[in-house]
Structure 1
Amino acid sequence: MNPTDLPSIRQAFAEARRAPRPARHRDIGDRLGLPEGCLVAAHAEAFDPAESPMRARRLRPDWPALVAALEPLGEVMALTRNASCVHEKLGVYRHASVQGQGHVGLVLGGEIDLRVFYGRWAHGFAVEETQADGMLQQSLQFFDAQGVAIHKIFLKPQSDREAFAALVERHADAQAAAALQPLPPVAPEPVLEDAQVDVAAWRQAWAGMRDTHEFFGLLRRFQLQRTQALRLAGPALARPVEPGAARQLLEQAAAGGVPIMVFVGNPGMIQIHTGPVRRVAVMGPWLNVLDAGFNLHLREDHIASAWRVLKPTEDGPVHSLELFDAAGDTVAMFFGERKPGRPERTDWQALVEALPPLAAVEALA
Structure 2
Amino acid sequence: METISLKEQFLAFKAQNPKKRIRDIAAALQVSEAELLMTSLGESTVMLDDTFEDILKEIPSLGYVMALTRNDYCVHEHKGIYTKVSFTPNAGLVLGADIDLRLFMNQWKLGFAVEDNGHKSLQFFDGSGVALHKIYLTEKSNMENYNDLVTRFRKAEQEAVTVLPADALVKSEKSDEEIDLPAFHQAWETMQDTHEFFGLLKRFGLSRTQALRLAPKGFARQTDMHSFKKVMQNCSGQQVPVMVFAGNNGCIQIHTGTITKLVEMETWFNVLDPEFNLHLRQDAIAAVWHVVKPSSDGDINSLELYDKNGEMIMQLFGKRKPGLPELNEWRKVLAESL
TM-score in terms of structure 1 length: 0.89
Quote the residue 1:120 is aligned against: 107
What is the alpha-carbon distance in structure 2 between the residues aligned to residue 296 and residue 66 of structure 1? 26
Asked if the contact 1:42/1:179 (under 8 Å) is kept, the reply is no
Quote the residue 2:196 is aligned against: 214
SS of equivalent residue, structure 1 residue 229? helix
| Residue 70 of structure 1, aligned match among 59, 71, 75 | 59
Residues 68-104 of structure 1 show CA distances to partners (whole Å, capped at 9, x for unaligned) of 11101001000000000000000111111111x2x30
Asked if the contact 2:260/2:271 (under 8 Å) is kept, the reply is yes
Quote the residue 1:89 is aligned against: 78
| Residue 140 of structure 1, aligned match among 104, 122, 126 | 122
Asked if the contact 2:46/2:158 (under 8 Å) is kept, the reply is no
Matches within 5 A, 1:20-59: 21-44=18-41, 46=42, 55-59=44-48
Give the unaligned 5+ runs of structure 2.
Answer: none
Cα drift, residue 190 of structure 1: 2.5
What is the alpha-carbon distance in structure 1 between the residues aligned to residue 337 and residue 181 of structure 2? 26
Residues 8-32 of structure 1 show CA distances to partners (whole Å, capped at 9, x for unaligned) of 2222322333446421001100110
Quote the residue 2:234 is aligned against: 252
Give the unaligned 5+ runs of structure 1.
Answer: 50-54, 357-365
SS of equivalent residue, structure 2 residue 231? helix
Asked if the contact 2:188/2:216 (under 8 Å) is kept, the reply is no
Quote the residue 1:110 is aligned against: 97
Cα drift, residue 189 of structure 1: 5.8
What is the alpha-carbon distance in structure 1 between the residues aligned to residue 268 and residue 165 of structure 2? 31
Distance change (3 Å), C-alpha of 1:310 and 1:338: same
What is the alpha-carbon distance in structure 2 between the residues aligned to residue 126 and residue 199 of structure 1? 50
What is the alpha-carbon distance in structure 1 between the residues aligned to residue 34 and residue 171 of structure 2? 25
Cα drift, residue 232 of structure 1: 0.4
Quote the residue 2:146 is aligned against: 164
Distance change (3 Å), C-alpha of 1:20 and 1:323: closer
Cα drift, residue 200 of structure 1: 1.3
Percent of aligned pairs sharing the same letter: 42
Residues 246-295 of structure 1 show CA distances to partners (whole Å, capped at 9, x for unaligned) of 21111111001100000001000000000000000100000000001000
Matches within 5 A, 1:213-362: 213-356=195-338
Task: Letter of the 2:292 partner, please give it.
Answer: L
Cα drift, residue 176 of structure 1: 5.7
Asked if the contact 1:69/1:167 (under 8 Å) is kept, the reply is yes
2:165 aligned with 1:183 = yes
SS of equivalent residue, structure 2 residue 140? coil
What is the alpha-carbon distance in structure 2 between the residues aligned to residue 213 and residue 153 of structure 1? 27
Task: Letter of the 2:72 partner, please give it.
Answer: A
User: Between Structure 1 and Structure 2, how many residues are aligned?
Assistant: 338
What is the alpha-carbon distance in structure 1 between the residues aligned to residue 211 and residue 35 of structure 2? 36
Asked if the contact 2:100/2:255 (under 8 Å) is kept, the reply is yes
What is the alpha-carbon distance in structure 2 between the residues aligned to residue 87 and residue 269 of structure 1? 11
What is the alpha-carbon distance in structure 2 between the residues aligned to residue 309 and residue 243 of structure 1? 15
SS of equivalent residue, structure 1 residue 157? strand
Residues 197-222 of structure 1 show CA distances to partners (whole Å, capped at 9, x for unaligned) of 11111111011111111111111111
Cα drift, residue 169 of structure 1: 1.1
What is the alpha-carbon distance in structure 2 between the residues aligned to residue 181 and residue 319 of structure 1? 40
Asked if the contact 2:122/2:134 (under 8 Å) is kept, the reply is yes
What is the alpha-carbon distance in structure 1 between the residues aligned to residue 40 and residue 227 of structure 2? 42
TM-score in terms of structure 2 length: 0.96
Quote the residue 2:13 is aligned against: 16
What is the alpha-carbon distance in structure 2 between the residues aligned to residue 120 and residue 190 of structure 1? 19
Q: RMSD of aligned C-alpha atoms?
A: 1.5
Residues 214-256 of structure 1 show CA distances to partners (whole Å, capped at 9, x for unaligned) of 1111111111110001110034100000133321111111001
Distance change (3 Å), C-alpha of 1:186 and 1:107: farther
Task: Letter of the 1:210 partner, please give it.
Answer: Q
Which segment drifts farther, 272-281 or 212-221? 212-221
Cα drift, residue 187 of structure 1: 6.0
SS of equivalent residue, structure 2 residue 67? strand
